[in-house]
A and B are shown apart, each in its own frame.
Chain A
């Protein structure tokens, strides 16, 4: 069964450092998303991406964040200068159609980011 793959599964970084979280969405999907979940809290939407541009973003997704689809398979989330409060589980998701209208989004297993 096709799946969304995220690497690494766990990353520890020092405050102020840049991190790049990587995702390989399902191959025939066209819409890509990043979500985050701070420990014990809700899953929060960060950004959606379609046709090589951001479709929608939340207020969390400020100038410290950026997304990129550098090639035909990877989708990355970059945090330029990490803060302690960026520590969370980051989930990548993809869907065949936008707005998860038809069949829902497929989520990866997440990358646990710990900022120390």
Chain B
């Protein structure tokens, strides 16, 4: 299995603070993605990082990938109440079509 596993399972922070979520996976990957899901809603694609990349930025998001440790982190800087959601990492393997999701980190940003 190449499931991504996020930690922590839940994270509660104050608005303005940074939030860091980690993801570990088991097998070789082609890419790793992070998604956000608001309660009961659809999945929103945040960022994709390829296996030959080490870091990627998008607005307040910073993603790192360490293929030697089979891990990734998602940093949300200057968090806002609207960032409250579940965040999932998902891995894609070479030649495959499916994306495997982890269980997610529930982030709660207090105003």
A residues with CB within 8 A of B:
31, 33, 35, 41-45, 48, 50, 55-56, 58, 89, 91, 93, 98-110, 112
28 contacts between A and B (CB under 8 A): A31-B97, A35-B101, A41-B103, A42-B3, A42-B102, A42-B103, A42-B104, A43-B43, A45-B98, A45-B100, A48-B98, A56-B97, A58-B98, A89-B40, A98-B97, A99-B30, A99-B95, A99-B97, A100-B33, A100-B99, A101-B30, A102-B48, A103-B48, A104-B45, A105-B99, A107-B35, A107-B43, A109-B41
How many B residues are at the interface, by size bracket?
A: 20 to 34
Contact indicator per residue, chain B 77-104, by CB within 8 Å of chain A (1) or not (0)? 0000000000010101111111111111
List the B side residues contacting A31 at CB < 8 Å: 97
List the A side residues contacting B59 at CB < 8 Å: none
> Would A91 and B43 count as touching, CB distance under 8 A?
yes
> Would A56 and B44 count as touching, CB distance under 8 A?
no
List the B side residues contacting A110 at CB < 8 Å: 41-42
A-B contact count (CB 8 A): 69
For the complex, is B31 an interface residue (Cβ under 8 Å from A)? yes
Known contacts A42-B103, A42-B104; A107/B97 CB under 8 A: no
B residues with CB within 8 A of A:
3, 30-31, 33, 35, 40-45, 48, 50, 88, 90, 92-104
